[in-house]
Amino acid sequence: MAKENICIIYGGKSAEHDVSMLTAQNVLNAIDKSHYHVDIIYITNEGDWKKKENITETISSTDELDLQDIESGDISRLLLETHNQEPYSAVFPLLHGPNGEDGTIQGLFEVLDIPYVGNGVLAASSSMDKLVMKQLFAHRGLPQLPYVSFLRSEFEKYRSNILKLVNDKLQFPVFVKPANLGSSVGISKCHNEEELVEGIQEAFQFDRKLVIEQGITAREVEVAVLGNDYPETTLPGEVLKDVAFYDYKAKYQDGKIELSIPAKLDEEVQQTLRDMAVEAFKATDCSGLLRADFFVTEDNQIFINETNAMPGFTQYSMYPSLWENMGLSYADLIEKLISLAKEKYEDKKKNKYQID
């Protein structure tokens, strides 16, 4: 039986480039190469696309995935010219942040009519933009903490008014976040107005729009969602920290994060979290995968924090670990996501594009 063609895309013009490289290493080492002819496309920090075909070896370091010495290629040609002229059964974008999980590359796949793993244009873009996400959650009736959002140009013009708004509507500590970034890049926990101004300036290095959220004393709990029209969920997992703030360095460099899977919660709370995760999945019209993040207070109040349409996907990240706890191995999870991508593509083909 001939192998199916699969293409894994990683890197990207994003502050989360290195996280993507690590994810790609993990997926490449787990994917069933006896079943798939695996090509890779590396997107450099400058946005150049470089392709290497038929990856069969184990990747021992992300340095092996840095294809700087390979000549850049035309994007559409790299995606459409395949082994034995058989189209890709699916492409697997392992891209985090802008230009990867924000709907832009998903739009390219749609135009080229290529099946792809994960969320579509709308789900990816709305899950990436924290303000739009919050507005959709509110429409669905999901409980959230208070927040304020504004643009860089607005802060430059109305700085004193905006600082007053934050002080009037929120209580310190607050979290300042770029609206369109993940992996805790550019996020600050601020305890006073001086730190707030510094946090705003930091966040505006990464995006023109930011969100400032009310801080809360609560447990940080996450639920993984998998599926298309009828999604399934995992038992919740909890993030246990040796640091005051679960930032990028703590997540990926210091190893100061411990995951408790499943989280020690009442069964009723667990079920509520799983139900809310499905509501969040539907609120943003997701497909394939989603991780929903929540706050749970000491008296079991639940607030949705955010969702991630392309969650951390290294072998030991929360999302795969939650499914491992449910009996779905990392390799089988990859296989399931590819299957869901093909299912979504076949369903889309049922649409009519001409009027009889």
The residues annotated with a catalytic role in the active site are: 16, 183, 317
Sheet with 49-52: strands ordered across: 49-52, 36-43, 4-11, 90-93
Q: 81 labelled as ligand-binding?
A: no
Q: 305 labelled as ligand-binding?
A: yes
User: What's the CA gap between 99 and 102, in Å, rounded?
Assistant: 6
Q: 218 labelled as ligand-binding?
A: yes
Q: 99 labelled as ligand-binding?
A: no
Contact 39, 53 (CB under 8 A): yes
Q: 183 labelled as ligand-binding?
A: yes
Q: 215 labelled as ligand-binding?
A: yes
Burial of 262 (0-12, 13-18, 19+ CB in 10 A): middle
Q: 53 labelled as ligand-binding?
A: no
Q: 284 labelled as ligand-binding?
A: no
User: What's the CA gap between 53 and 59, in Å, rounded?
Assistant: 14
Q: 175 labelled as ligand-binding?
A: yes
Angle at 86 between CA 83 and CA 91, to 5 degrees: 80
Exposure b/e, 108-136, CB count within 10 A at least 16 = b: bbeeeebbbbbbbbebbbbbbbbbbbbeb
Mind giving me the DSSP string for 301-338? -EEEEEEESS---STTSHHHHHHHHTT--HHHHHHHHH
Q: 308 labelled as ligand-binding?
A: yes
Q: 293 labelled as ligand-binding?
A: yes
Contact 123, 284 (CB under 8 A): yes
How many separate helices (H) and strands (E) can be counted in the chain? 12, 14
Q: 216 labelled as ligand-binding?
A: yes
Q: 29 labelled as ligand-binding?
A: no
Binding site feature residues for ATP: 130, 175-177, 183-184, 213-220, 305-306
Binding site feature residues: 130, 175-177, 183-184, 213-220, 293, 305-306, 308
Binding site feature residues for Mg(2+): 293, 306, 308
